[in-house]
Amino acid sequence: MARTSINLLCAIILCAIALSSVGCYAAQSKKLLFVFGDSLFDPGNNQYLNSSAKPASTWYPYGIDMNNKSTGRFSDGLIVPDYIAQFANLSVVPPYLQPGADLTNGANFASAAGGVLDVNNGVLNLKQQLAYFKNVANLMSQKVGAKEATKILSSSVYLFSFGGNDYFRYESSYPNATQSQRVAYMRMVVANLTNGLKEIYNMGGRKFAIQNVGPLGCLPVIKAVHPSTNGSCVTNFLKDASLHNKALSNQLSKMAKELSGFKYSNMDYFYNLLYRINNPTKYGFTEGKNACCGSGLYNGLNCGVGSYKLCSNPSDYLFFDGGHTSQKANRQIAELIWSGVPNVTGPYNVKQLFGLP
């Protein structure tokens, strides 16, 4: 257990004890939000992993729309889970590893560069994030009893964003892989991800929200490191994401049929981000293909490092840096996750998941 786990969970435990009385969980009306994922959802966990090597997201200009406070988020401001928490009338869910963090409303375990598989050293992959979550659940069970802990876990929502780093690593390591090899790898990624969902389900979790893998080949950073495409999206990365998303959708549907009480929300991040890349003005952006902050082609590299460029108004840009959307875009994506219609976010949206018992 992390050295801060016990004191971090005090607020949750105190509230949980009050379940049967008038307290912060009166009539179990308040649900918790637990977040798992990569840099799209990381609120700053990575800055607590290695005190000698702070991630770039803790430097200026990250956080410039949060009073120039770089929090470890790869954005000019807030990220998707921050908005989901706000929409659910919860305070912003803090990084789990932040010393003294108030976890009354849940916990965010996401880690930049984290994958479903162990693809990058020194960060939290899915297995490690689940281990931290199990610490939370076990301590809760010790304090309030298994039955009450299960009630809390079953009413909570579990928000996921995973997969991009698995395919970044695979394509960089095996650029000449055959289609059958790519499919085999994808199946391994999806199987490990859905097994992670099942682990939470077996502990009592019932409500899962997934943001699928985006159009990886169209990110400014990917186009920047593949200049031969002359600005076109890089095909292999797009195929990886499409294969993953189709297989994941099939598996989630299968789990809903086989696992009693399993409810899920699957947000089509791939197409909704791609629409914005190709039609930025329709969504209030002036630029959809170049990043606000960075250097090189499409401003896709090294935001905050060396002689980078920084736009004057991040809200004009879909991308803040080469791989991450701006605060304005994050809010739009969060709104789709929260209340999107079934062909965007389904079969449930997250607002509906929070409304379930």
Is there a catalytic annotation at residue 244?
Answer: no
103-136 as b/e: b if 16+ CB within 10 A: bbbbbbbbbbbbbbbebbeebbbbbebbebbebb
The strand pair at 263-267 and 345-347 is best described as antiparallel
Catalytic residue, from 38, 65, 268, 321: name it. Answer: 321
Is there a catalytic annotation at residue 20?
Answer: no
Q: How many angstroms separate the CA atoms of 183 and 175, rounded?
A: 14
User: Tokens 């009073």 identify what position?
Assistant: 67
Cβ proximity of 276 and 285 under 8 Å: yes
Is there a catalytic annotation at residue 228?
Answer: no
CB-hemisphere CA count at 13 Å for 215? 20
Catalytic residue, from 155, 226, 244, 324: name it. Answer: 324
Catalytic residue, from 39, 70, 141, 154: name it. Answer: 39
Q: What would the 3-class secondary structure string for the chain be?
A: CCCCHHHHCHHHHHHHHHHHCCCCCHHHCCCCEEEEECCCCCCCHHHHCCCCCCCHHHCCCCCCCCCCCCCCCCCCCCCHHHHHHHHCCCCCCCECCCCCCCCCCEEECCCCCCCCCCCCCCCCCHHHHHHHHHHHHHHHHHHHCHHHHHHHHHHCEEEEECCHHHHHHHHHHCCCCCHHHHHHHHHHHHHHHHHHHHHHHHCCCCEEEEECCCCHHHCHHHHHCCHHHCCCCCHHHHHHHHHHHHHHHHHHHHHHHHCCCCEEEEECHHHHHHHHHHCHHHHCCCEEEEECEEECHHHCECCCCCCCEECCCHHHEEECCCCCECHHHHHHHHHHHHHCCCCCEEECCHHHHHHCC
The catalytic residues are: 39, 321, 324
